[in-house]
């Protein structure tokens, strides 16, 4: 019969294959398919060949969210460059004058091997000289053009770091969006101050802290010798080996860099005296007292002093002293938080750094527009982590950044005149900063300090989520 013949044929074929020791083919001959097509014994339709394996297409270097981000980044950065190159002119003071006159004047002095000892506007740590001398790397451009291009490159580096970090597990692209929007909202001031370069170092330090404590310490220590505030980035580092490594590296780096400048260039520490003698700047929180007092007969004045527009007159030293006391109180709160903190998550370090920078910005005698870049940069790193508690504070900082653009440069004349528009802008901007500070501190405290229960042991030094307390079995009754 046909069925018996087929069975016998199949058995003989299998026996012959076993005797010859031939392995079952892995290619197109497998499952009864020969090289020329499917095999058949004439008793039925040929078997259907398997579908060829799908070839995976090469992954595009940019995903759809990244392309959307780029679609915002490119036009906003082009507009900023048009503004600083004076192709597009924004009403108000020329924000590029600091680069064209002050920075370039410092550059001419620094290139001789000394710091500007006779210029009280030089109020920066010694490594700030590197940012001022940076345009020398582009000798084929004039000083202002080279500076603006370096600021643009620093902006691009920060964006790239945040995009790269956003693709890692537990991360998101929210941070890159915050940075892209924040720099644009501040306007051309972003590219006309060297604070953007300092913020690039700070962002790199925070991102490195997730895996490399020593690298974070080196970057934070170097940033502190450029503009002091990056030292605050280490306030939230988890206790134990990570803290010892990062703080030790920061102290060593800052000490070595400072000593190198002291030995190489006279006047490296002159900034300490110039900074000490500053008054109350017209955009600070304490300045609101004098903005209102001017309408009540206060006899003081507004004048360019120590490189910024400040109030001078009766009670100014008192208000400046109160601001310094508030800064000391902020430091005390950070120390208390660190002593009481028991729970460290992947976002705690960045969240604490953001709260620290907010505290010292809000209580400072000077809140220059470029200070918002510090907050935007640290906020971006916070929101790059999915576990961050800084959503609302970061949103308030972005709004405050746009209000800062309105009060400088757009309507700065109204601020100096202390009229209704100028005072309203300052009340809104500084109020947003205070609200963001309170919310950030509350979030950091609630996230790290246990409430109404036994202290939770710190995380293992390898990092990770907080250990879960043992579950209690519910009685059945």
Structure-block tokens of residue 231: 């030292």
Q: What's the farthest any 2 CA atoms get from each other in the chain?
A: 121
CA distance 443 to 119: 42
| Distance separating the N- and C-terminal Cα atoms of the chain | 73
Please answer whether residues 200 and 419 qualify as being in contact, where contact means their C-beta atoms are separated by less than 8 angstroms: no
pLDDT at position 55: 54
- Strand order of the sheet with strand 308-312? 280-281, 308-312, 301-305
CA distance 175 to 378: 9
Question: In this structure, what DSSP letter does residue 311 have?
Answer: E
Question: What are the strands, taking DSSP E only, across 158-285?
Answer: 280-281
User: Any long-range contacts for 162-168 (C-beta under 8 Å, 24+ apart)?
Assistant: 162/203, 162/207, 162/380, 162/381, 162/384, 163/66, 163/69, 165/207, 165/381, 165/384, 166/384
- The total of other beta-carbon atoms located within 10 Å of residue 362's CB is 23
User: Can you tell me which residue has the tokens 């006899």?
Assistant: 299
- Block means of pLDDT (10 residues each) for the chain, length 477 residues? 44 45 43 46 52 52 87 98 97 96 96 90 93 96 98 98 93 97 98 97 95 95 97 95 96 97 91 74 97 95 89 94 96 97 94 98 96 98 96 98 98 97 98 98 95 51 42 37
Kindly write down the DSSP assignment for every residue of 149-175, as one continuous string.
HHHHHHHHHHHHHHHHHHTSTTB-THH
User: Can you tell me which residue has the tokens 């990770």?
Assistant: 464
Using CB atoms within 10 A of its CB, is residue 250 exposed (0-12), middle (13-18) or buried (19+)?
buried
280 three-state secondary structure:
strand
φ, ψ dihedrals at 3, nearest 5°: -65, -40
pLDDT at position 278: 74
Residue 104, CA distances (Å) to 135, 187, 188, 393 in order? 10, 21, 18, 36
pLDDT at position 307: 80
- The total of other beta-carbon atoms located within 10 Å of residue 408's CB is 24
Structure-block tokens of residue 399: 């709004």
Whole-prediction pTM value?
Answer: 0.82
Please answer whether residues 384 and 164 qualify as being in contact, where contact means their C-beta atoms are separated by less than 8 angstroms: no
Question: In this structure, what DSSP letter does residue 232 have?
Answer: G
φ, ψ dihedrals at 202, nearest 5°: -65, -45
Question: What are the strands, taking DSSP E only, across 285-387?
Answer: 301-305, 308-312
CA distance 20 to 12: 12
pLDDT at position 17: 45
CA distance 159 to 177: 9
Using CB atoms within 10 A of its CB, is residue 3 exposed (0-12), middle (13-18) or buried (19+)?
exposed
């Amino acid at each position: 019969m046909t069925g018996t013949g087929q069975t016998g044929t199949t058995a003989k074929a299998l026996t012959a294959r076993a005797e010859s020791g031939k392995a079952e083919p892995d290619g197109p001959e497998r499952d009864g398919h020969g090289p020329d097509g499917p095999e058949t014994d004439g008793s039925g339709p040929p078997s259907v060949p398997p579908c060829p394996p799908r070839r995976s297409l090469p992954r595009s270097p940019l995903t759809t969210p990244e392309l959307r981000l780029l679609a915002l980044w490119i036009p906003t950065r082009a507009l900023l460059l048009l503004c600083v190159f004076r192709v597009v002119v924004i009403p108000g003071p020329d924000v590029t004058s600091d680069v064209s006159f002050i920075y370039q004047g410092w550059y001419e002095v620094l290139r001789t091997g000394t710091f500007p000892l006779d210029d009280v506007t030089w109020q920066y740590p010694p490594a700030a000289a590197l940012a001022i001398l940076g345009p020398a790397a582009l000798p084929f451009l004039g000083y202002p053009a080279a500076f603006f291009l370096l600021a643009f490159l620093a902006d691009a580096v920060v964006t790239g770091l945040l995009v790269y970090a956003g693709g890692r597990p537990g991360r998101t692209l929210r941070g890159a969006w915050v940075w892209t929007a924040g720099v644009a909202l501040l306007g051309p001031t972003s590219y006309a101050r060297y604070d953007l370069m300092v913020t690039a170092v700070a962002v790199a330090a925070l991102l490195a802290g997730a895996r490399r404590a020593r690298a974070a310490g080196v970057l934070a220590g170097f940033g502190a010798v450029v503009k002091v505030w990056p030292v605050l980035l280490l306030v939230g580092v988890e206790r134990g080996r990570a803290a010892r490594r990062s703080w030790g590296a920061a102290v060593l780096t800052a000490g070595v860099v400072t000593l190198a400048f002291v030995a190489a260039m006279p006047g490296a520490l002159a900034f300490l005296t110039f900074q000490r003698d500053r008054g109350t700047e017209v955009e600070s929180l304490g300045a609101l007292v004098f903005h209102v007092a001017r309408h009540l007969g206060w006899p003081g004045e507004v004048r360019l002093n120590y490189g910024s527009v400040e109030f001078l007159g009766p009670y100014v030293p008192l208000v400046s002293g109160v601001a310094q006391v508030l800064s000391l109180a902020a430091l005390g709160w950070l120390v208390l938080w660190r002593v009481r903190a028991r729970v460290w998550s992947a976002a705690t370090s960045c969240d604490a750094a953001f709260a620290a920078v907010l505290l010292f910005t809000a209580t400072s005698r000077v809140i220059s527009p470029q200070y918002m870049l510090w907050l935007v940069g640290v906020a971006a790193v916070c929101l790059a982590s999915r576990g961050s508690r800084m959503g609302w504070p970061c949103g308030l900082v972005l709004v405050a950044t746009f209000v800062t653009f309105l009060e400088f440069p757009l309507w700065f004349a109204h601020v100096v005149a202390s009229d209704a528009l100028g005072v309203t802008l300052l009340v809104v901007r500084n109020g947003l900063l205070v609200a963001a500070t309170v919310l950030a501190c509350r979030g950091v405290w609630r996230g790290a300090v246990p409430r109404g229960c036994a202290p939770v042991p710190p995380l293992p030094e390898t990092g990770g989520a907080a250990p879960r307390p043992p579950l209690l079995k519910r009685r059945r009754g």
